[in-house]
Every structure is written in C-alpha cells, then in structure tokens.
Amino acid sequence: MAEKKPFEIAREALMKLTARKLMPTPLNYQAVYNEIAGTPDVAPFPEDALRKIARALPAKTTAQATQKELLDGAIAQCNWQSVQDVLVAYASAGTANAVHRSADTRADSPRVSFQAEFLVPVARLIENALPALGSDDARFSEQVGQLLKVMRDPLADMPKVKSMLGNFSHRLSFAAEDQAEIMGTLLKLLHLVIENIGELGLDDNWLKRQIDALMVAATPPLTLRRLDDLERRLKDVMFKQIEAKGRALEAQEDMRRMLATFIERLASMTDSTSAYHSRIEESARLMEQAKSIEEIGPVLKDVISATRGIAHDIARVRDELRGMREKVNASEMEIDKLHQALNAASTQARHDQLTGALNRKGLDEAMARELADVQRKESPLCVALLDIDNFKKINDSKGHDTGDAALNHLVSVTRENMRTQDTLARYGGEEFVILMPDTALEKGIDAMTRLQRALTRRYFLAGAEKILITFSAGVAQLVASESGEDAITRADQAMYLAKRAGKNRVLGA
C-alpha cells in the first residue's frame, strides 16, 4: 500500500474531526493527524500553563528572582531539562550555596554561555563520532556516556570536564588507531582473497580483467559506494568462476570416461591381436605339415576367417576412437565458448558495448544504491537526462560509424568532467543519464551547463571535419517517496522542453 502524502492525511484528519463531532482545535487536529499517519501522539510543550506557574512563584529573595528569570528563559526555549534544573535550584534558593549556584546558572553568566556555545556542540560532535569507533569496548562506551552527561549539565564542574575530556582524548587515540589497524588488516585480507581467486582460476587471462577491476575498487580511500561496487564485482567473479569450474569438472569427467574406454578398447585390441597371431602361427605350422592341396584349403579358410575378424575389430575400435576424439573436440569447443561467453558477460552484463557506459541494467543497480544512500543519509540526489542535438542528421549525413564515434566522444568528455561519485549510463540511442549524489537541483543544472561548455571547447573530428556536438538536458532532484524511474521521467520531460526551447539548453524539472 502506497504511503499517504501529507495533504491526503490532512484532508482525512479534517473529515474524521467532522465525523466524530470534535472541535477543530489544534490538539484535536494533531491527535487525529498522528492517528492516521501512524506517528506517536506527543503532547505539545505546555508553554502557557508553565508561564502561569512561573508568574505564581514568589520572588522574596534575589536568588528566587534570578531563578524565575531563568525559568522564563527555559520555558521560552521549550526545554524540559532546563525547566527541571531551574525548579530544583529555585527550591533550594534559600541557602547561601543556592544563591551562589543560582548566580552561576543565569542565562547571561559566563558559565552558561560557555556551556551552551562550546560544551554542548562538542558533546554533539563526540556523539556523532561514536558509530565510527564501534561498540566492542564496554568500558569506553560507559566512559563516553558519563562524559556526555557532564558536558550537558549547565552546572558542570569545569575542572572535572577538563579531566574527563583528557581521559577521553587519550582513550580515543587508542580506539582510532585500533579502527585504522582493523581496516588496514581487513583490506589486506580482501586483497589476498582477490589474488587467490585469480590464482585458483582455470584461465588467468579470462579472470585478469575482473581481478584488475576488483583491485582498483579495493584501493583506498574507501567509500560505501565503492564497497557496494566491490561487493557486486566480487560476487560476479565468484559466480562466473564457480560456473566455469563446474563445467570444466564435467569436461574432465568426460575425458576420464573417454580415456577409460580407450584403455579398455586398447586392451581388447591387444587380446584380439594376440589371438590373431596365435592362429596365424598355428595355420603356418599346419601349412608346413600339409602334404596335399586338400589339406591346405581348410587352413586358408581359417586364416581368412581370422583376418576378417581382426579387420572387423580394428574397424570397430577405429570408429570408437574417432567418436571419442570428436567428443573431446566438442567438449573443448564448448569450454572455449563458455569462457568467451563469461568473458563477454563480465563487461556486457552492466555496460553498453559501444560506449562502455552503464546500460539499463547497470543503471537500475546504480539507482538502487543511490536511493539507499538517500534514505540513509537524507542527502539530495540529482538525475540528469541528456539527448544529443541533431544526432539523426549526423547519422544520415556522415554514416553510422561517425554517429557511433560521436557517442563515444560525448562519453569521453563527460567522464573527464564528472566527479568520481557520479554515474554515467546510456539510456537508449543518443540518450544518457547521469546520477549526481549529494547534489541539489541548482548544482545539478550548473554541472550540466559546465559539460555543455566543455563540449564546445572539444570539437568532434569526423575525418578532417570539425563537428560541434551539443545536447539538451533535463535535471530533476529526487523528492520524497519518489522512485528513480519517476525522477528520470521528470528529467525527460524537462529535456523535451529544452529541445522545444531551441536545443543546447539545460532545464530543471
């Protein structure tokens, strides 16, 4: 079921308020809205009620008056923790110690200012860095928790904070070194795995391209995107290697059976030949002892019969051996075809054969990875769809070979001007899609405009003739709950408008 959009939830909330005969107050509306959206119904901060309580509190002493001022500030900030701290300080404001502490907790005091402007951001920085350090060390996690609690206390003891920060910094250096060493060791192990896959391959030439690509992908600096690409490539190589190895083992088994049959036939042939020689020798002996032509006749018949038998055996074995040789040749050809197909698949499965850019399948996988990044990091993603202007005219007047060269020229210039994190894919014909992560709409339009300028500086040569290659492009920034294909569709519509507006333009969707 598709997720409801905010305006749909709002409309349904108003309808339910009417159906339930409830007053359309902010509280009633928020409760119904949260009920429909499936979000927690958290009560709003009771600012008005707390202000009435603050006004009712007496201010008989200077300390109480100070705490009342601090309470007003905490209510204005809607900060429950500050409200609680001030009320506790107000309750003990009658003692001298409380008077001293209240002076330190004034909103304009140096301590509160320092805590708000320095310690709280540092605490947030430490908290954001914790996931990178792991959670294996329970003692270190406990130490960090205590430090964060002290740093967020408006009445924190600064010498204590300084001491705890020093201990944390010391322990942090060890934790960072451990993480760096772990990453380096894992990277070495990964390189060993890749190298061993290459060594175990049945054909090093077949695996060389994939192994080289894996090594490049596993070279620092590593990013989540590069690791995703590395995982995909590694799975592809392992799958193709297992498939080729299985087929090669089948061929080896066929060869083993053929060799066993050959040995069996050879042994049979040896037995037949030995029997034939024995019969010939016996016939020669009988012919030497014969005294008349009548005695020689039966011996000749036996010789002819034995000769025919051995000739039949030889012909049968010859045919079997010829059949086995044909099977061997067929197996070798099949293995060679398999290697060629797998080698082609390693580059063609996700890449366009002509330009080397990603094809539609490769684009779908890249889009899925970018969408996952967008959801994880809540970062912007721009999708650009560009179409070469007057490409049909180039094909018709210069030929398809020139058109293909023009596509490769565009891809070459685009790659020179892309960032390493950007993705280029051939969408179809002369259309290309560029994925630009961490890029807002205006920046995406600027990037496509810079690419247009780069193309004007790099003429395409068709023989000795210079041809200016231009393109029209549409750029769309992915919006919430939108699929990648929907974003491409919006970019395509903007590109069409750019064509209608005179070509060689970039428009945002």
Catalytic residues: 430
- According to the 3-state scheme, what is the secondary structure of 132-197? HHCCCCHHHHHHHHHHHHHHCCCCCCHHHHHHHHHHHHHHHHHHHHHHHHHHHHHHHHHHHHHHHH
For 26, other C-beta atoms within 10 Å of its C-beta total 8
Going 383 to 388 to 389 to 392, the CA torsion angle's sign is negative
Buried b vs exposed e over 203-239: b needs ≥16 C-beta within 10 Å? eeebbeebbebbeebbeeeeeebbebbbebbbebbee
Residue type, 49: A
CA distances from 441 to 254, 367, 435 (A): 61, 17, 12
Q: Which contacts qualify for 65-73: CB closer than 8 Å, 24 or more apart?
A: 66/93, 66/102, 66/103, 66/105, 66/106, 67/93, 67/102, 67/105, 69/106, 69/107, 70/102, 70/105, 70/106, 70/107, 73/107
Question: Quick one: which of 377, 268, 372 has its CA closest to 316?
Answer: 268
Q: State the Cα–Cα distance between residues 254 and 53, nearest whole angstrom.
A: 92
- Vertex 220 angle, CA 342 and 356, to 5°: 35
Question: Quick one: which of 139, 123, 222 has its CA closest to 174?
Answer: 139
Q: State both tokens at 87.
A: 């009320």
Beta bridge partners of 472: 387
Buried b vs exposed e over 163-198: b needs ≥16 C-beta within 10 Å? ebbeebeebbeebeeeeeeeeeeeeeebeeebeebb
Angle 26-37/6-19 helices, nearest 10 degrees? 120
The burial of 292, by beta-carbon neighbours within 10 Å (0-12 exposed, 13-18 middle, 19 or more buried), is given as exposed
Residue found under tokens 């900030």? 77
